[in-house]
Structure 1
Amino acid sequence: MNAPHIVWIHRSDAAGSDLLGGKGAGLARLTEAGVRVPPAFVVSTAAFRAAVGADLLAEIDTMAGGVAPDAAAEDLEAVGAEVRELIGGVALGDTLTGAVAKAYAALGHDAAVAVRSSSAAEDSADHSFAGEHDTYLWVSGEAELINRIRDCWASLFTARAMDYRRKAGLSSAGASMAVVVQVMVPARAAGVFMTLNPENGDRSKVVCESVWGLGEPVVSGSVTPDRFYLDKVTGEIVRRDLVVKDVRLVRAASGQGTTSAQVEPELREAPSVTAEELTELLRLAKLVERQFGVPQDGEFVIGSDEGAENVYLVQSRPETVWSRTSPSRATREGSVIDSILSHLVPGSARQA
């Protein structure tokens, strides 16, 4: 039986990351767990392979596999650029284009969507690939969607993605990409959560980082977010680190893509999530940790209105740093030195 080219996350029939990619498979499991997730479908890895075709896949594998293990960054970029150009010229074909158009129409007429790369190798317990592949927000219209799907396929061969695979001991030959197409939530606030304390590995805490607007600046590490520490047992907010938030990422005036906008003066020092929303994030974080069986590193978005019912999860993946350390040892040995390092080297505690 041929693998499907379009898979809805709420009807995935337990399809795994080999077909849906890491993000797609994670979203499917979140949906199975009853978590509030924006509607989405996945253009599968089978669709990628069918569109690119056996001959071009073989050529790409030869080019990617021919990169020396110690190749310089400029050599990686040169090969990657050549492969991306080849993928950029791929025509999806009438069958796949029609299937994408039908699924997209089911989300609503010219629905605004996020188009997210979902590599078959990413978001495992050993390799997260966070930020290595491309994501496009506020995409609208069938033609634009098709272009962005192709761009996500091509991002499999950026120099940074190829270098990540090389350092992780993975080959770029045979790499495969799915693409998640998910309804955009008009974000009042957004951010990330971890079901342990990234400063010391303490699994009795959930830590949430958030900003006004879309969460991509938090994911990319380009801004300093608000940070909240929640106790898993008592539900108490044990610590709040609030920052001044001057700008936020919002939908561009054209309707396509994003732009930066100034935050209203009265909101700049205000917490970007409410106590009620943090309580809901704590509930969801604990739920997904139970569902996946290991500490999680996830992303959330909060809709335009306040309240728990407006909190959505848009990703959850295994945490890849502290999860490899036993809970007691992580809490005991990491509490001092890693807290110091996290302040001396920004972002050092959150590598996933």
Structure 2
Amino acid sequence: MSAQPLIAFFKDIDKGDLSTVGGKGANLGEMTQAGFTVPNGFAVTVLAYDKFLEENNLSLLIRNILKTTNVHNPEELSEASRKIQKLIVNGKIPNDAAQDVIKAYKRLSGFMKHALVAVRSSATAEDQPGTSFAGQQVTFLNIKGEANLLNAVRDCWASLFTPRSIFYRVENKIPHENVKISVIVQKMIQSEVSGVMFTIDPVTNEKDKIIIEAVWGLGEMIVQGSVVPD
């Protein structure tokens, strides 16, 4: 991307935009530009997230909560997470960001008034060597309508501060303020089969093996670890 927008469609994204659209967004953009069949969508960039924090005066509040939290105390960690997520969920999305999201959603929906979309978190530190952040933030499926979409975007932002996410950053010595979050809005595919492909064996690290794990229906059950895939 040549500019710094609040919204970016996949066709305008590449790996150079990781700091703006996160790991998931950058990879979806790369695949789209390479000609793979990727369900269309757009990223709500980290600039929208930063703008949200600024206009709701949340950055200092969040920093102070985290600074006084012992993440190795489960009760303290859960309480800090609860407070921060409540601040974010109750915050107001800036008007220009909200209007840009709605405009992009209408464009994505096309002749359908309100398309079903997946709303997916895309942190700037995920899918990196040594810090995958796999499953750390949330995904919402089959979201329909403008109000529901905006709520899901805000909930994705809040998921940057789940107990698991906070603990993971501390354990990996990643400063909280160094991790930003983009949100991916992507057309839903009502799949018969879904899966995850590894281009290196995730257990043995053998580079000459490709591992595909699949389940019937939607793929969230694999990501969440709630089923044993084929």
**So what's the TM-score if we normalise by structure 2?**
0.92
CA distance in 2, matches of 1:127, 1:198: 14
Query: For each residue in 1:100-132, what CA deviation from the matched residue of structure 2 results, as whole angstroms up to 9, or x when unmatched?
Result: 010000111211000001111111122111111
CA distance in 1, matches of 2:157, 2:225: 24
Contact 2:14/2:27, CA 8 A, preserved across alignment = no
Q: Who is 1:84 aligned against?
A: 85
- Residues 13 and 214 of structure 1: is their aligned pair in 2 closer, same or farther, counting only changes over 3 Å? closer
Q: Who is 1:48 aligned against?
A: 49
* Pair 1:201-2:202 in alignment: no
Contact 1:64/1:173, CA 8 A, preserved across alignment = no
Q: Who is 1:321 aligned against?
A: none
Query: For each residue in 1:229-263, what CA deviation from the matched residue of structure 2 results, as whole angstroms up to 9, or x when unmatched?
Result: xxxxxxxxxxxxxxxxxxxxxxxxxxxxxxxxxxx
Please tell me the residue identity of whatever aligns with 2:213: E
Partner-residue secondary structure (3-state), 2:201: coil
Root mean square deviation, CA, Å: 1.7
Please tell me the residue identity of whatever aligns with 2:83: E
Please tell me the residue identity of whatever aligns with 1:5: L
Contact 1:131/1:220, CA 8 A, preserved across alignment = yes
Structure 1 residue ranges, 4+ long, deviating more than 4 angstroms after superposition: none
Please tell me the residue identity of whatever aligns with 1:61: R
**Structure number having the greater helix percentage:** 2
Q: Who is 1:150 aligned against?
A: 154
Q: Deviation of residue 15 (structure 1)?
A: 4.3
Partner-residue secondary structure (3-state), 1:205: coil
Q: Deviation of residue 153 (structure 1)?
A: 0.4
CA distance in 1, matches of 2:184, 2:22: 9
Contact 1:113/1:181, CA 8 A, preserved across alignment = yes
Q: Deviation of residue 139 (structure 1)?
A: 0.5
- Percent sequence identity is 37
CA distance in 2, matches of 1:100, 1:61: 27
Q: Deviation of residue 13 (structure 1)?
A: 5.9
Q: Who is 2:103 aligned against?
A: 102
Contact 2:117/2:188, CA 8 A, preserved across alignment = yes
Of 41-50 and 198-207, deviating more is: 198-207
Highest relative contact order (Cα 8 Å, sep 6+), 1 or 2?
Answer: 2
Q: Who is 2:26 aligned against?
A: 25
Trace 1:175-186 onto structure 2 (pairs within 5 A): 175-186=179-190
Q: Who is 1:9 aligned against?
A: 10
Contact 2:15/2:27, CA 8 A, preserved across alignment = no
Contact 1:122/1:129, CA 8 A, preserved across alignment = yes
CA distance in 2, matches of 1:189, 1:13: 28
Q: Who is 1:64 aligned against?
A: 66
**So what's the TM-score if we normalise by structure 1?**
0.61
Contact 1:61/1:174, CA 8 A, preserved across alignment = no
